[in-house]
Amino acid sequence: MALLEVRDLSVVFKRKGEEPFTAVDGVSFDVEPGQTVGLVGESGCGKSVTSMAIMGLLAKRGVKVSGSAKFDGTELLTLSDKQMRDRRGQELGMVFQDPLSSLNPVISIGLQVAEVIERHRGLSRKEASVQAAELLDKVGIPDPKRRLSEYPHQLSGGMRQRALIAIALACRPRLLIADEPTTALDVTIQAQILALLAELVKETDTALIMITHDLGVVAGLCDEVNVLYGGRVVERAGRHDLFRVPRHPYTHGLLASIPRLDAPRGERLSPIRGSVADNIPWTQGCAFAPRCPNAIDTCVEVTPAMEPDPVVAGERLLRCHNPVEPADRVEQEILT
């Protein structure tokens, strides 16, 4: 049994006077202890909403969550608010995208780290502060004792993200969700933060769900990758398999749209046509069909199911009627 088993998770937003909007539409995946699983896709593909649903952070009103998310055998979706609060910060940690807005501007860094220890470990403020300093040291913040009394605006972007990681890992959670943890940072800092996450996760055998739109992050960190489109997983494979032979036209498009230094001069980037705004629900046919270069008649008529890849060997699931032929693949040197 996996540490986290997500089955057929759906999230529907219902606002008064508006059509219900299905943000997540039957997502399933597993995360094993020590494993890093990537959720990849463009903005609006449902990756963040999936993580918020697992964490129980979605609003109570106007949102309908269905399906199942079992953590260590316990169904998270039906837990009471109090039971969920007991687990958040304790067994489930989360790192957010924008470190400046994710830290409270008027509370010292020390208290923001200590309060989560205080809450779950039942320590006094003083004992928790000592541990907070140790944590800041561990995530690579220099002079941690002095930092305790400083405020978010006094830290650099990278330091803030380190502080957020310290908060998320303070109680040694068994599952960590990182929601685009490097998007708001400089490229050089991004690499540092990713290395730090990878190191900490390995050291403590923590399961990590990495949410990102950045395939470089996936290549560097994830063991298994789920590519999401329109609220559904369209392709799942180990990272090597995925990068070597992207089978779903969407995955293929994502990889092909990365600018490459070794491309011949003058060659244009090949973006994916259209935008997620053209999103159609998965009611009939494939939601990606309108943007898909490989679309055939079946694609608009029959909704594809998630099935093992009929051609390429390996553990891969695919939701596509007309996958990209392995020969067409773009050479991926990211991995080599």
Partner 1 sequence: MLRYTIRRLLQLLIVVGVLSLLLFAWLRSLPGGPVSALLGERATAETRARLTEELGLNDPIFVQYIKFVGRALSGDFGVSTGVQPGDPALDIFLQRLPATLELSILAIIIAIAIGIPLGYLAARRRGSVLDNLSVVSSLIGVAVPVFFLAFLLKQVFAVDLGWFPTAGRQEGGIDATRVTGFFVLDGILTQEWDAAWDAFVHLILPAVALASIPFSVVFRITRASVLDVVDEDYIRTAESKGLTTPVIRRRHVLRNAMLPVVTTIGLQTGALLAGAVLTETVFAFPGIGQALAIGFERRDYPVLLLLILCSAGVFVLINLLVDLSYALIDPRIRTRGGGH
Chain residues that interact with partner 1, rule: CB under 8 A: 55, 57, 84-90, 93-94, 96, 98, 101-108, 115-116, 119-120, 151, 153-154, 164, 167-168
Tokens, residue 253:
């498009």
Comparing CB distances to partner 1, the nearer of 201 and 292 is: 201
Shortest distance, CB of residue 6 to partner 1, whole angstroms? 18
Shortest distance, CB of residue 156 to partner 1, whole angstroms? 13
Tokens, residue 223:
């063991």
Shortest distance, CB of residue 98 to partner 1, whole angstroms? 6
Comparing CB distances to partner 1, the nearer of 56 and 323 is: 56
- The Cα 132–Cα 166 span in angstroms is 8
CB–CB of 31/175 below 8 Å?
yes
Comparing CB distances to partner 1, the nearer of 171 and 196 is: 171
Comparing CB distances to partner 1, the nearer of 148 and 318 is: 148
- The Cα 237–Cα 222 span in angstroms is 11
H or E segment at 63? strand 63-71
The dihedrals phi and psi of 329, each to the nearest 5 degrees, come to -60, 150
CB–CB of 193/200 below 8 Å?
no
Shortest distance, CB of residue 284 to partner 1, whole angstroms? 36
To the nearest 10°, the Cα dihedral for 19, 20, 26, 31? Answer: 130
Comparing CB distances to partner 1, the nearer of 168 and 196 is: 168
- Strands 175-179 and 207-212 come out as parallel
Shortest distance, CB of residue 151 to partner 1, whole angstroms? 4
